[in-house]
Amino acid sequence: MPFEIKHIASNQIVRHSDAPDSDANSSDLIEHTNRIALPFADAVLSHWQFDGIRMIHTNWHYKTRSDMAFRFDEDVVQMHFNLRGKLLLNSVQHGNLLSFEHNQHNILYGNSNAGTISNEHLHASQFQIQFPRERFLKLTENANDTLKRFSENIVSGKPVLIADQHLPIDLPMQQTIDAILNCKYQQGLKKMFLLSKAIELLVLQAEAFNRPPKKAVARTDYDKDRIHYAREYVLQHIDNPPGLSELARIAGLNEYKLKRGFKEMFQITVFGYLAEKRLELSRDYLSDPNKSVTEIANLLGYSSVQHFSAAFKKKFGHPPREEKM
């Protein structure tokens, strides 16, 4: 894929290619990670490519606010997830400024493009999945109404977003992205796994954009920022989380706005989220031969090992002790 990304202030090329990317159409899984140290930023760029599908994860630590110029020439549909930071995308093809807040997603189509990317925060992270146009259209035929309308615009060659309004990345999407980034399978199995997760993410996005819009509870940037803060606070205090009213006080919101806003943004309640994260973390702990089931239950703040075992079995279909075997 001919493309270029250039730091505007220094005129330094960050990534560049003038030749078609033969790896992208390989039936084999091609993956690589590049660590980049530049005067203005450090970055880790990870890529997975197979059967024309490309997955990209970028993690940037800027030393100062930076603007990048980009250009590419390829007919692709891009599922975009802005995981961290505020991203401003000034796209020539889409004709307007696209502003992605922290934890937002959308699906974009374009057959070539150029423009600028600006990150408003010093730490920025994005995840993208790119499908070739024809592969995407074949995959999504007979899908829901939102995807059908989106596909009609793609067929006409019109650069388009699946919706003008970006949506929050909910817990199932975040879990699917985490599964991709932390996949331990190799080669053929990994390719199968990544393809299944790419389709799963597409289904989750399509369903999210197909829901009728509701009147937002978290309307301001302040509300959204405080709800994100509450989510991070819960994760940092997973062994001894505060009650809802205490969490609302810590976050600087009233209890109603925290409760309803959290569900609105992440499609799960505060304590549903806490329960999911506890169980996900417990699987990592169970892989440690030096930690007993009882110790793990205590570490994660369960009232008893029986309560932990019951929750684990309900979620994963077997008791935690079998996980250690």
Q: Is the pTM of this model over 0.75?
A: no
For the chain, domains (ranges, CATH) are: 3-210 (2.60.120.10), 221-323 (1.10.10.60)
Percent of the chain with pLDDT over 90: 38
Residue 307 phi, psi dihedral angles, 5° rounding? -65, -45
Phi-psi region of 317 (alpha: psi -120 to 50; beta: other; left: phi over 0): left
pLDDT digits (tens, 9 = 90+) for 30-43: 999 989 898 888 99
Rounded Cα distance between 219 and 228, Å, is: 13
- Return the SS3 of 242: coil
Is the model's pLDDT at 73 over the cut of 60?
A: yes
The answer to whether 297 and 307 are in contact (CB under 8 A) is: yes
CB atoms under 10 Å from CB of 94, counted, come to 17
Task: Give me the half-sphere count of Cα atoms (radius 13 Å) on the Cβ side of residue 184.
Answer: 1
Rounded Cα distance between 219 and 171, Å, is: 20
pLDDT digits (tens, 9 = 90+) for 227-275: 989 999 998 998 888 999 999 999 999 999 999 999 888 878 998 888 8
SS3 for 39-57 is: CCEEEEEEEEEECCEEEEE
DSSP state of 173: H
Q: What is residue 110's predicted lDDT score, i.e. its pLDDT?
A: 80
Q: What is residue 23's predicted lDDT score, i.e. its pLDDT?
A: 53
pLDDT digits (tens, 9 = 90+) for 168-221: 898 899 999 999 999 999 988 999 999 999 999 999 999 999 887 667 788 888
